[in-house]
Structure 1
Amino acid sequence: MEEYLEQLTSKNRDYFHTVIRQLTDAGKSDEEIKTILEDVVPSIVEKQKSGLTARALLGTPTAYTDQFIEKTTASGKANDKPKNTNKYLMWLDSFLLLMGVLAVVNGAVGIFSKTPQTYGIVTLVLMSAGAAVVMYIMYNNYYKAQTEKNGSRWKSFAILTLAMFAWIAIFILASLLPKSFNPSLSPIATLIIGAAALGIRYLLKKRYNIQSAMDGSQRQN
């Protein structure tokens, strides 16, 4: 292993020194560190001949070492359960979050306003549902746009733009619905609905360990 480390460029050598230090700080033994590096370092030695760096291939040292370091929760228990990336659950998670936040804010403003105006219930539901779809599209296309060719990036951007316009159209059409189809609730009722949506989201997230669509950094390929 040492002979391969010596063949690394200065930049790549510094990279792996940082990796080794972080693994050591995390409690990994010398044997464990050697096992982790024995496959990747020779590969980097070969690929650096083409001008590639360890950072470009593996990400930051922290991002690379994180996959070998067991995470713990606040209670000190291991938390290595993978996030649930079921698209329907992710959509539901985003929907409940947006529904909750919009309803709570709208209801709170209505309570303290002299002329309370709250969204119609249909407008609130459709606006949250559409925005949740847009958020999932952003999540699903984020890393593809970062790693693939320009054509893929433009395709992702086009899909996202169309989704945004579709969401805006849905919101406008929903707001034009007659009151009989889109009744406005009282500020208190709107606030209660928002709090209930956030509470349900919390329970579902805790039960199913749902990946948040707003956290693209944890997208799993």
Structure 2
Amino acid sequence: MSDVISALLAGAIVLALVLHFAWQARRSRDRASAALAADEAGIRAVVADADNVSDGTAGVITWEGSWNGQRVQVRTIVDTLATRKLPARWLSVSITEKVSVTAIFDMMMRPGSPTTFSNFDHLQHTLPKAPGFPAEAVLRTDRRGTRFPQSIIAGHMEPFSEGRAKELLITPNGVRIVWLLAEAERARYGVFRQAAFGDTRIDSALIERLLVSLSDLRDAINRSERQAA
């Protein structure tokens, strides 16, 4: 009888664990769905026609739409590269319209390790900095000898004054700013190796601010090129 009772107890414990893990998984999915809905609401408050065009890449969610007559992209990226002390969640905001430059201009703040959101490490040519750029910034391009309107670009550094903006990318096809939304909770990551970012959500005011900054920069570059021509 004792063997039967022991077997029943063991079975009950296993069933309880299975149900518990199933409940945790369902709760995690529900929380993820709620977080995604909240992020979409924040984005659509600024980009009303934003559409989720994510391609299934792990940790990356992408929305595209239009803002003030310009095509834009908003993307979140979870960076869990082993070279980072803590995983990070990045916000990438882009205007995907033509810019009057002939090569890539990439400004990275404190480029100490590779990232999952940028090709900065693959750009071979470092540019000298004009006055007005942050001391921690490094400038690179893909084409040696290319001239950029650095004095104009340096006049649009306001988003980089708080220490959370990581990258400014300018290409012939658009402009982009990458912003640090959050770093993973240290205790949870240290014990469970889980990249949890608490209740961090996408702020519509931040998206608006970054889009305005990018639009002003793009307009200034294009205007200067038209005047030079």
Fold match by TM threshold 0.5: no
**Higher RCO (C-alpha under 8 Å, 6+ residues apart):** 1
Q: How does the TM-score come out when normalised to structure 1? A: 0.26
The structure with more strand, counted as a fraction of residues: 2
